[in-house]
Amino acid sequence: MLDGRYRVDGRIAVGGMATVYRAVDTRLDRVLALKVMHPTLAADVSFVDRFIREAKSVARLSHPNVVGVYDQGADGAYVYLAMEYIAGCTLRDVLRERGALQPRAALDILEPVLAALGAAHRAGFVHRDMKPENVLIGDDGRVKVADFGLVRAVDTVTNTTGTVLGTVSYLAPEQIEHGTADTRVDVYACGVVLYEMLTGTKPHSGESPAQVLYQHLHEDVPPPSAAVPGLPVELDELVASATARTPDVRPHDAVALLGQAREARAALSLEQLDAVPPQARTTEHDNADDRTSVIPRAARSVQMSLPTDGENQQQDPLNRTSILATPPAAPPTAPGPGRGRGRGRSNPRRGVLAIVAAVLLALGLGAGVWYINSGQFTKVPPLLAKTEAAAKKRLDEAGLDVKDVKRAYSDTDKRGTVMATDPKAGERIGDNGDVTLTVSMGPEIVKVPNLEGTPLAAAKKKLKDAGLAPGMTTRAFSEEVRKGSVISTDPGSGTKRKAGSAIAIVVSKGSPVDVPDVTGESEADATADLEDAGLKVKIATTRVHSEEDKGDVAQQSPKEGEKQLAEGDTVTLTLSKGPQMVEVPDVEGMSVDDATQELEDAGFQVEEDKGLLGLFGDTVNDQSVEGGEEAPKGSTITIEIR
């Protein structure tokens, strides 16, 4: 339980700066994500400031495509943000699972990302760390931008002093070279992300981050069509505009790039928008033995986007299956200078190739090649998050069989839904092949063991053995439980929790010990008294002037009655250097007031001796310590008045 309000249920992800947990706000009874800064960084003011800046910046945006921040606070060493919880996956998960995306899907993701960044830019902020990991795609198809932890004001010049913030694959040249960032660095990063969505790979790669940084500085991002032949020139131009190495050539912010993206979409035909990338086609060749280069494949391919199991296709532009109604066409030639708008016109060579292909097929040549290359293979359809029954039905419709159904616990997948397939979605498999489904049993539920009286190390092991995680450890005095053993847990023993849940532990500090006052005692006597009370002693390396004799205890920390300590706790003793000797000013002949003031300013206390003759006098006749001699600072000087 964090801050007495947020119950942590499980860990979602770990980063270099913070860990994100799935949690429940027990006050409002809603699921949210807790981003908790690593305690080792909480002492760094700059990191804490960055955390708070993220909360304030995102709270100001209030945009439907930005992950919302509900709360920000601290609980001891734990500084946290309470954020909107998005059930789904990241764009990185999608790219890892599917590779290159259809242009429509890539634009369907890019546009809401640009809308979110555009709102940030117009509000005066730069994200500075755009990458697929920070693009969340909800189960309902919503796209949201997360992690504004590196956000800065637009008009702030960021000097990184040799350290570049962000992720090397998406850094703009000016971030690397000058360490400065404005809205155009987000535009550059979005161009790189678009390239990656269209091709399935990053534009720059190397064996070390330094090599990638060098390429950002000295090499243009290549056109996506160079990696995926047939991509429209409008998409090449969109990537080139966003990733121009000179910032002034790029769109000035995400709103301007969004306008260009929508213009590019409007210029594309339905066939171009829904074209399946080569690595996703059913004619993909796995090895050289499957290839044929002598049969021209001229017949045009027809792609059909099919909604899956009654799902709303508009809500999930990624959840589509593309099929080929006829053998695929030869890959289009990559666009050259001056080409692009005319690519939709008829090609006179296409008719000739079609006739040749028809003749060869009529003669029985090539038909076997088509069957071997494509006809005997299909692709595993996307089944994640579907019910077991719906997944089996979908496989049956695709001509595939269910080999086995495995069951596994999951904190994130709904009970009874598919959480994994083997082979994975999109992988090629022979017709009538078998697919193994892994169906979620929901979160594993375990009981919190009784740990009262158990030593801390053994208690942590018992929690792990029970499938739980040791949580925050606090310490308290206890008359009944010996020091170092568990007093209680939160939640208590016997409570049911999901496996992996963190269990807070309260450990005994033993019986409280009253601290004796050893001020003024010798070092040996003070040490003996404290050790007899069950405490340890530490002697401070520095000594101080005091009224105590030299070598005796001048100060102790903690003092008597200041706080209770546990057995084995330490008391620090500071020894005396003896009183500080100060020269006494000569005040004879002065008025009483002037003499008193001068002596007090020198650090002495003053006592008046008027006697019988000085009852009505106002002049100092004598002083107990002669002027010019030394006396302990703080001691009393008596002045005789006549």
Give the separation between CA 158 and CA 156, rounded to whole angstroms.
Answer: 6
Q: Is 129 tagged catalytic?
A: yes
Q: Is 37 exposed, middle or buried (0-12, 13-18, 19+ CB in 10 A)?
A: buried
- DSSP one-letter string for 506-560: EEE--SEEPPP--TTSBHHHHHHHHHHTT-EEEE-SS-B--SSPTTBEEEEESPT
Let me know whether 145 and 236 are in one domain: yes
Q: Confirm if 65 and 144 have CB atoms less than 8 A apart.
A: yes
pLDDT, tens only, 399-444: 899 999 999 988 778 899 999 999 988 787 876 789 999 999 988 8
Indicate the pLDDT class of residue 562, thresholds 50, 70 and 90: confident
What average pLDDT does this structure show over 562-591?
91
Please, are residues 69 and 58 in contact by the beta-carbon 8 Å criterion?
A: yes
CATH number for the domain that contains residue 536: 3.30.10.20
User: In the predicted model, is pLDDT for residue 292 greater than 60?
Assistant: no
pLDDT at residue 164 is higher than 70: no
Task: Say yes or no: 358 and 224 in one domain.
Answer: no
What does the pLDDT average to over 535-561? 92
Decide: 95 and 196 in contact? Cβ < 8 Å.
yes
Residue 352 domain-assigned (yes or no): yes
Mark whether 265 and 193 lie in a shared domain. yes
Average pLDDT over residues 577-593: 91
| Domain endpoint, select from 396, 425, 440 | 440
Quickly tell me which residue has 């006592």 as its tokens: 607
Q: Which two tokens stand for residue 632?
A: 């302990």
Flag whether pLDDT at 88 surpasses 50. yes
The C-alpha atoms of residue 642 and residue 616 are separated, in whole angstroms, by 8
The per-residue pLDDT for 481 is: 93
Closest CA to 202 of 231, 168, 237, 244: 168
Residue 349: is its pLDDT beyond 50? no
- 298 pLDDT exceeds 60? no
Looking at 7-162, list the stretches that DSSP marks H as alpha helix, in order from N- to C-terminal side. Answer: 45-61, 91-98, 103-122
* Alpha-carbon dihedral 350, 354, 355, 358, rounded to 10 degrees: 170
In a domain, 274, yes or no: yes
Taking CA atoms, 361 is separated from 280, 281, 299, in Å, by: 25, 22, 11
| 3 state DSSP class of 472 | strand
Residue indicated by tokens 């198809």? 141
Does the pLDDT of residue 197 top 90, yes or no? Answer: yes
Task: Pick the most confident of 93-97, 186-190, 361-365.
Answer: 186-190
**How high is the pLDDT of residue 54?**
66
Residue 279 confidence class, pLDDT cut points 50, 70, 90: low
Give the confidence band of 614 by pLDDT, cuts at 50, 70, 90: low
Better-predicted residue by pLDDT, 76 or 227: 227
Q: How many independent structural domains does the chain possess? A: 6
Structural domain contains residue 306: yes
Q: Is residue 428 part of a domain?
A: yes
Q: Which pLDDT band, with edges at 50, 70 and 90, does 166 fall under?
A: low
pLDDT digits (tens, 9 = 90+) for 12-71: 888 777 889 999 999 988 999 999 988 777 777 777 777 777 677 777 778 899 998 888
Mean pLDDT value across residues 595-619: 84
342 located within any domain: no
Domain identity same for 106 and 159: yes
Residue 487 is assigned to a structural domain of this protein = yes
- Whether residue 537 contacts residue 505, with contact meaning beta carbons closer than 8 Å, is answered with no
Bridge partners, residue 474, by sequence: 506
User: Would you call 295 exposed, middle or buried from its count of C-beta atoms within 10 A (0-12, 13-18, 19+)?
Assistant: middle
Gap between the terminal Cα atoms of the chain: 76
Q: State yes or no: pLDDT of 287 exceeds 50.
A: no
Catalytic hit among 3, 9, 71, 129: 129
The pLDDT assigned to 59 comes to 76
Is pLDDT above 90 for 375? no
Residues 138 and 248 in one domain: yes
Amino acid at 469: A
Other C-beta atoms within 10 Å of 255: how many?
Answer: 17
Residues 272 and 288 in one domain: no
H-run or E-run covering 185: helix 183-199
Phi, psi of 296 (to 5 degrees): -70, 130
Residue 239 lies in a domain: yes
The torsion region of residue 258 among left (phi > 0), alpha (psi -120 to 50) and beta comes to: alpha
Lowest-pLDDT choice from 30-44, 343-357, 412-426, 460-474: 343-357
Same domain, residue pair 523 and 499: no
**Residue 264 reports pLDDT greater than 60:** yes
Q: Are strands 570-575 and 536-539 parallel, antiparallel or unpaired?
A: parallel
For tokens 């005994």, the residue is 508
Same-domain check for residues 397 and 546:
no
Q: Which of 165, 185, 183 is nearest to 174 (CA)?
A: 185
In order, the DSSP letters of 388-408 are: HHHHHHHHHHTT-EEEEEEEE
Cα Dmax for the chain: 146
Per DSSP, what are the bridge partners of residue 583? Answer: 630
Residues 6+ apart with CB under 8 A from 449: 462, 463, 466, 493
Q: Could you tell me which of 484, 483, 451 has the C-alpha nearest to residue 470?
A: 451
pLDDT digits (tens, 9 = 90+) for 325-337: 333 333 333 333 3
- Both 239 and 272 in a single domain? yes
Residues 146 and 272 in one domain: yes
370 and 328 in contact (C-beta within 8 Å)? no
* CB atoms inside a 10 Å sphere around CB 527: 19
pLDDT bin (cut points 50, 70, 90) of residue 224 is very high
Q: How does strand 502-508 pair with strand 469-476?
A: parallel
Query: Quick one: pLDDT at residue 613?
Result: 62
pTM of the model: 0.46
Range of the domain at 470: 445-508
Boundary-marking domain end, from 440, 463, 495: 440
Predicted pLDDT of residue 29: 86
Kindly tell me if the per-residue pLDDT of 346 is higher than 60.
no
Q: Give tens-digit pLDDT for 475-515.
A: 899 989 999 999 999 999 999 988 888 899 999 988 898 89
Taking residues 252-268, what's their average pLDDT? 95
Question: For the segment 121-158, what is each residue's pLDDT rounded down to a tens digit?
Answer: 988 888 888 999 999 998 888 999 988 754 444 443 34
Q: Do 345 and 164 contact (CB within 8 A), yes or no?
A: no
Which residue, among 12, 3, 54, 18, has the nearest Cα to 33 in the 3D structure?
Answer: 12
Residues 148 and 209 in one domain: yes
pLDDT over threshold 60, residue 342: no
Residues 245 and 104 grouped into a single domain: yes
Segment 183-204 mean pLDDT: 95
The answer to whether residues 404 and 491 touch, using CB atoms and an 8 Å cutoff, is no
CB atoms inside a 10 Å sphere around CB 405: 13
Residue 135: Cβ-neighbour burial (10 angstroms; 0-12, 13-18, 19+): buried
d(CA 576, CA 580): 10
- 81 domain-assigned: yes
